[in-house]
Structure 1
Amino acid sequence: MAVADLESISHTIPSRTTSFESIPEVVGTIEGRCDGAAPLTPSGKKKHMVKMLTLILLPIIVLTTLAIADFITTVRHSMDATETYRNVRLSQQIGSLVHSLQRERDMTALYISSLLGENGPERKTFLINTYPTTDEVLQSIDDWPVEGTTAHQKFHNKDAFINYLFKYRLTLENHNITIYDVIHFYTDTIQIFINWLSQSVRRSGGQGIWETLVAFQFVIVGMEQIGIERTLGAVFFTKGGFDQRDYLWYMKKRQVGESCIGTSKIYSPLVTSILDEKLSWVVYDFQTAISKMRKEVAQNNINRLPSWQEGTWWFENMTMYIDTLNEIQSAMAVIILSRLDAAVETDRADLAMSIGILVVVISIGIVIVKSVEILTASCQGYTLKLAEQTHSLNQERKRTDTLLNQLLPKSVVKSLKCNQNAMPEAFSMATILFSDIVEFTRICSGSTPIQVVDMLNTVYTVFDRFIGKYDVYKVETIGDAYMIVSGVPKRNGNKHGREIALIALDLLQSVKSVVIPHKRGVAMTVRIGIHSGPVVAGIVGSKMPRYCLFGDTVNMASRMESNGLPNRIQVSEATHKILSNVGGFSMTKRGGILIKGCGLVKTYWLHGKQQDEESQGGKSSQGELNLPGQCVDDNNV
């Protein structure tokens, strides 16, 4: 079937419908009439509008765009500065909280390690004295960094965390708690806040001080690592040594902590200057004492004796160091906030100027637009008319598509639209299903023509509901005959047999619920026949063309139906072999039946799907099946 056949189809549609091939001609004719000012087509409308608005609105549009872009940039910069200010201010508070939690962690670890010694009550007093400081810092936090998070329900808000920390403090009397439990509890808690600090630095946008912000973050992370070093070092001196795991843990924290402090000095000279300034005020050289005791820990002499006094010296010296770092991060936060204050003030001035420019540009634009509104009023009328015509054309186009897709397969229609010839096509393997209504002639003899049409429409409407469920194509309905195929026009490998078998079972099941409208007491029964084999498909005719199937496979499928029994599905030996290879179907041998022109033919009854779904695995094959011939002799049955 050539493209001319598709054109003949469009001629059968009412004249109000526009075919696909005629659309360019119609549009071209209208454009030929629009050389004047009336924009009857999209092309004419564009020319008319461009002539009027280009010279008038283009400069205004450019100025407005620039003004808006400048305004948006200024607003974003101001919002970034404000957000950075908020994050740094909150980071300062969180830094104080981390410092307090570090001290509470260390005192708790010392207390746990002294429960069995004579210093237990004294350590308990020191520990309890750290709680008010931590609680006071918690209450002073204006915002909560992880508000609303679902990842840490115990940190959902400030009150939840305070309650969580309070309950943990009450469990310290439990003798099953070890130093490592304490360290991990507080370290994991602190890490959540440090993670938020890292996220806030990434979200801040820099504002020209990103190096200082990174250094600020490294100081806080370094404080946490050195804080863990302080705790582990105190354990070393009080226990008299480390095992291998604790030693590696200590050395890792020491190296990471010092590396973070060193990196912060590289990113911001403020760290070095503030640290030198703080150390110049200190009379006692605690750094020398720390270096000496670090060497003892690094040597990890397993023969040394436990010493609470050395543990206390270590703790006090490291506390002085960590307090100095805490003062450094607080001083850096003050410097960062002062710089951000200046940036915010500058952004506010820029924002006011941007708003003024934007207002002026918009005002000028409004005046110009109002002046050309009268000129564009006539074009709007033409545009509305054109929109209505376009809408009607699209509706007619959809109706044409729907009609063509109902007459022919979508793949064939697509080829015809692309000016490709729809030549007949041979399919090496497909499965065809025929069904008809049992005693249809007797039912019709007692029915009026309208009742017969109503009955057939009821049956086929039920059948058609299953077409979209499977990979099948409805070929035609002639009287009470219903014909569908799988594997045509879209090849689907060896799936065609299974698809037809499944829809056949559904059709047989669904017909049981069909009631003949004018004969309520008469049960509806059908015969179904299935056969697989090669077919040729092509379009026949140019007036109301039909997509037809040809070949012995069609005849054999029809005879499988006509020689079947009511409410039974008869399949040929070829289809039986396909379904057996696929698996999952229950079939029994009927035996040999006499088929005109073929002699005795082996047939089978298809009963349904097997209950064991696992049987549907491993038997299928992607290659072509070696099926038996269309007919067999008596000796082969």
Structure 2
Amino acid sequence: MGQAEESIQEAVKQEHNDMCTGASSQSSSGKKKLIVKMMILILLPIFALIALAISDLITTVSRSINATVTRRNVRLSQQVGSLIHSLQRERDMTALYISSLLEENGPERKTFLVDTYPMTDEVLQSLDDWPVKGTMAYKKFKNKQTFMSFLFKYRLTLDNQDTTIYEVIHFYTDAIQIFIDWFNGSVGKSGGQGVWETLVAYQLLIVGMEQIGIERTLGAVFFTQGGFQQTDYLWYMEKLQVGESNIKSSKKYSSLVSSILNERVSQVKYDFQTTISKMRKEISRNDVNRLPSWQEGTWWFDNMTLYIDTLHEIQSRMAVIILSKLDEAVKTDTACLLTDISIMVVVVIIGIVIFKAVESLTSSIQDYTLILADITKGLKTEKKHTDTLLYQMLPKSVAESLKRHQHVKAESYCSATIMFSDIVEFTRICSESTPFQVVDMLNNVYTIFDNYIDKYDVYKVETIGDAYMVASGIPKRNGNKHGSEIALLALDLTHCIKGVGIPHKPGYSMTIRVGIHTGAVVAGIVGSKMPRYCLFGETVNMASRMESTGLPNRIQISETAHAILSKIGGFLMNTRGEIHIKGRGIVLTYWLIKKEAPRSVNQPGSNQNFQLPGQCIL
């Protein structure tokens, strides 16, 4: 009942849990489950680390691929930007040519227009890529040859008198818009790789250049025709505002636009921006009385061309800067990729080493578990033996309290029934027998008595020599049932003892005396080295007097025992009469004869919850 017993309890409890769950370490399935559990526990953080390394590797690869795609799209946008710039120039020169056909020297000015065609064709032929299937540009023009043929056919129709400036503008603007949409679609899908602000400014700049290019065309028409109609005026003002708004937004997203523009302006001999500003104000006034002027239209065209060329140069330089940053990003991502691969390889190697180590450790633990399991089984068996002996010495509830190191207080019982028995002429039998024969005889008798005890709600208090003491109603209270339990046991013992002989005395019949008394009693633990559960009180003495003053093979009961059995019913009892009891004087006693048929519960007096004289109701 100390630390050793607690260890035994824990070991047995664990073994019991393993057996209940089917996970005993000795079974094949238990070994597999144990290995799986330990591997999951140990390798889970390693798998998490590998997952993080793989995730980081995938992110780096994705970023590197995105940077490469963005770089390719930006490089392509340089060529597309040059093509758009050439188409804008050809559009504006064509519109200027159409507006001058009514003048005397107008047809001769076609030479300026024709000079722009080879420039556009050269830029178109230099394109390294073309829109893929699914894009609007591909649906309109499947390849460069289709677009070049389309452009060539239109150039041949320019001398047709039915061609108008607005048709020219719309023709080229629609074609340019196809390439702008292609550019926005390709660059817009890129992740940016840290240069998204510059990419946005780059896109806004290209869109703004297109709007300003249309403004250049309409402004040239204004000066060569001597004014605008209301519709043309609104069209011009729209392109002016949208174009400049995109240029200003581009400056906000990237300071490169302003710095490169200021650098370019400082290199020009005169301030073309001031000239453009003045001419824009003149166009905005839209004086209907002004005269057509080819010279003013050309001057406007040249200044706006210088402005648009400057913007195109800004676009080209921004593309170079973006490509440079993307190249650095690709290099950085490549270095990170190599680092991530190295980390992942190291993690995998460490994981394999740990896996092998854990597998070896698990095998050793399982071997040790088998040894512990054998020891546990032995401890469990010994514990059962210990508990069996302990419960024979003490009541089970009391023994459990002592094993938990709890103090067991003495307890008072208002009503309990005690039985004493002894062997008639035991002293003479002992004098005629050897000690070993006496021990064998008593062991034989008490073994039979113990088998009957298991049938009833009674507790064997102790045996001293031939004295056999049994009680009911303690330590477990059972109402008034204790009287009938002891009575039935006493009847069984007096009946069975008739068939018990003495091995070393053939033909000798053994007899016993039995005494029963009911009353109050106090029970408690006595001693610490070898604790005993003892009963105290006058009830014990009275029960002993009932046995010592009885007769062989007779059951003498006291008046209180007679009263409780009468209330219970079903027992035949005869009056013995008054006898002298030491310490009590003259008392009335009875003989318990036999068990009769049980009384009906509806008969008067069948209620068992009655009160004995001077006793409390339980």
TM-score, length-scaled by structure 2:
0.52
Task: Give 2:92's aligned residue.
Answer: 106
* Structure 2 counterpart of 1:117: 103
2:288 corresponds in structure 1 to 302
1:147 to 112, 119, 132: 132
Task: Return the alpha-carbon distance in structure 1 between the equivalents of residues 26 and 160 of structure 2.
Answer: 92
> Structure 1 residues 46 and 126 mapped into 2: Cα distance closer, same or farther (>3 Å)?
farther
Identical columns (%):
70
| Separation of aligned partners in 2, 1:243 and 1:40 | 97
Distance in 1 separating the partners of 2:71 and 2:195: 12
TM alignment of 1:383-394, pairs within 5 A: none
**Pairwise CA RMSD:** 2.9
Match of residue 249 from structure 1: 235
2:305 corresponding residue in structure 1: 319
Amino acid of the structure 2 residue aligned with 1:93:
Q
- 1:53 paired residue number: 39
TM-fit CA distance, 1:122: 2.5
Farther off after superposition, 223-232 or 147-156:
147-156
Deviation string for 1:390-439 (max 9, x for gaps)?
Answer: xxxxxxxxxxxxxxxxxxxxxxxxxxxxxxxxxxxxxxxxxxxxxxxxxx
- Taking a change above 3 Å as real, the CA distance of residues 183 and 55 of structure 1, as seen in their structure-2 partners, is same
> Take 2:239 and 2:23, find their aligned partners in 1: how far apart are those partners?
82
Report the counterpart of residue 322 of structure 2 in structure 1.
Answer: 336
Residue 40 of structure 1 deviates from its aligned partner by 11
**For each residue in 1:148-196, what CA deviation from the matched residue of structure 2 results, as whole angstroms up to 9, or x when unmatched?**
2353423323333222222222232333222111111111111122223
Q: How far does the alpha carbon of each residue in 1:432-471 deviate from its partner, in whole angstroms, 9 at most, with x for none?
A: xxxxxxxxxxxxxxxxxxxxxxxxxxxxxxxxxxxxxxxx
**For residues 55 and 147 of structure 1, what CA distance do their matches in structure 2 show?**
52
1:370 to partner: Cα distance: 7.3
Query: Max radius of gyration: which structure?
Result: 2
Q: Which residue of 2 aligns with 1:279?
A: 265
Going from structure 1 to structure 2, the CA distance change for 1:208 and 1:45 (only over 3 Å counts) comes to: farther
The answer to whether residue 184 in structure 2 is matched with residue 198 in structure 1 is yes
Matches within 5 A, 1:393-542: none
**Could you tell me which amino acid in structure 1 is paired with residue 253 of structure 2?**
Y
Alpha-carbon contact 1:107-1:123 (below 8 Å) kept:
no
Match of 2:575 in 1: none
- Equivalent position SS for 2:185: helix
> What residue identity is the alignment partner of 1:124?
K
Tell whether the 8 Å contact from 1:78 to 1:348 is kept in structure 2 after alignment. yes
* Residue number in structure 2 paired with 1:185: 171
Q: Which amino acid aligns with 2:65?
A: M
Instruction: Tell me which amino acid in the other structure corresponds to 2:226.
Output: G
Q: Is the 8 A contact 2:135 2:182 kept in 1?
A: no
TM-score (norm 1): 0.51
In 2, Cα distance between equivalents of 1:178 and 1:49: 87
- Alignment CA distance shift 1:131-1:57 (3 Å): same
Letter in 2 for 1:319: T
| Amino acid corresponding to residue 211 of structure 1 in structure 2 | E
Amino acid in the other structure paired with 1:185? F
1:212 & 1:133 partners in 2: Cα distance?
Answer: 29
Structure 2 counterparts to residues 21-60 of structure 1, below 5 A: 34-36=22-24, 48=34, 50-60=36-46
Q: Distance in 2 between matches of 1:360 and 1:267?
A: 43
Gaps of 5+ in 1: 1-30, 377-637
Q: Which amino acid aligns with 1:147?
A: V
Alignment partners' CA distance in 1, 2:96 and 2:359: 82
- Deviation, structure 1 residue 114: 2.5
1:132 to partner: Cα distance: 0.8
Q: CA deviation at 1:347?
A: 1.0
Question: What amino acid maps onto 2:170 in structure 1?
Answer: H
Deviation at 1:36, TM superposition (A): 3.5
Q: Matched residues in 1 for 2:353 and 2:97: separation?
A: 79
Q: Judging changes above 3 Å, is the alpha-carbon distance between structure 1 residues 362 and 168 closer, same or farther for their aligned structure 2 residues?
A: farther
**Residues 245 and 76 of structure 1: CA distance in aligned 2, closer, same or farther (over 3 Å):** same
* 1:66 corresponds to: 52
Rounded to whole Å, the distance in 1 between the matches of 2:35 and 2:232 is: 80
2:67 is paired with a residue whose SS is helix
The one-letter code of the counterpart of 2:89 is: R
- Residue pairs, 1:207-226, within 5 angstroms: 207-226=193-212
Answer whether contact 1:226 1:254 (CA < 8 A) is retained.
yes
Secondary structure in structure 2 of the residue aligned to 1:218: helix
For 2:132, the aligned partner's letter is: E
Contact 2:91 2:168 in 1 (8 A): yes
Shift of 1:49: 6.2
Question: What letter corresponds to residue 261 of structure 1 in structure 2?
Answer: I
How many Å separate the matches in 2 of 1:349 and 1:327? 33
Given residue 209 of structure 2, which amino acid in structure 1 is its aligned partner? Answer: M
The separation in 2 between residues aligned to 1:338 and 1:150, in whole angstroms, is 29
| Cα pair 1:39 1:48 within 8 Å, conserved | no
- 2-structure distance, mates of 1:150, 1:369: 53
* Number of equivalenced pairs: 345
CA 151–288 in structure 1, closer or farther in 2 if over 3 Å, else same: closer
1:229 aligns with 2:215: yes
* Residue pairs, 1:551-566, within 5 angstroms: none
| C-alpha contact 1:239 1:307 (8 A) present in aligned 2 | yes
CA distance in 1, matches of 2:347, 2:230: 73
Alignment partner of 1:137 out of 107, 111, 123: 123
Letter in 2 for 1:34: G
The answer to whether the 8 Å contact 1:109/1:231 transfers is yes
SS in 1 for 2:169: helix
Cα pair 1:74 1:351 within 8 Å, conserved: yes
Once the two structures are TM-superposed, the CA of residue 115 in structure 1 deviates from its matched residue by 2.9
- Provide the C-alpha distance between the structure 1 equivalents of 2:176 and 2:325, rounded to a whole number of angstroms: 28
Amino acid corresponding to residue 293 of structure 1 in structure 2: M
Shift of 1:320: 0.8
The within-5 A match list for 1:153-172 is 153-172=139-158
Query: How has the CA–CA distance of structure 1 residues 121 and 349 changed in structure 2, closer, same or farther, with 3 Å as cutoff?
Result: same
Q: What CA distance in whole angstroms lies between the structure 2 residues aligned with 1:159 and 1:250?
A: 33
Determine helix, strand or coil for the equivalent of 2:288.
Answer: coil
Match of 1:94 among 72, 80, 83: 80
Residue 343 of structure 2 corresponds to which residue in structure 1?
357
Amino acid of the residue matched to residue 175 of structure 2? T
The verdict on how the C-alpha distance between 1:140 and 1:373 changes in structure 2, with shifts beyond 3 A counting, is: farther
Does the 8 Å contact 2:100/2:294 carry over to 1?
Answer: no
Counterpart AA for 2:92: D
The aligned residue for residue 270 of structure 1 is 256
CA contact (8 A) 1:107 1:126 kept: yes
1:450-497 alpha-carbon deviations (Å, 9 max, x no partner): xxxxxxxxxxxxxxxxxxxxxxxxxxxxxxxxxxxxxxxxxxxxxxxx
- Tell me the distance in 2 between the aligned counterparts of 1:292 and 1:120: 27
- Cα distance in 2 for partners of 1:127, 1:256 equals 27
**Structure 2: gaps of 5 or more residues:** 1-18, 363-618
Q: Is the 8 A contact 1:34 1:40 kept in 2?
A: no
Deviation at 1:354, TM superposition (A): 1.0
User: Residue 215 of structure 2 contacts residue 240 of structure 2 at CA under 8 Å; is this kept in 1?
Assistant: yes
SS of structure 2 residue aligned to 1:242: coil
For the residue of structure 1 that corresponds to 2:115, the secondary structure is helix
User: Is the Cα contact below 8 Å between 1:236 and 1:242 reproduced in 2?
Assistant: yes
Give 1:265's aligned amino acid: K
Shift of 1:79: 1.2
CA distance in 1, matches of 2:292, 2:31: 94
Mapped to 2, the partners of 1:38 and 1:113 lie a distance apart of 102
8 Å Cα contact 1:94-1:141 kept in structure 2: yes
> Would you say the 8 A contact 2:49–2:347 is kept in 1?
yes
1:154–1:164: 8 Å Cα contact kept in structure 2?
no
2: CA distance, partners of 1:207 / 1:328: 21
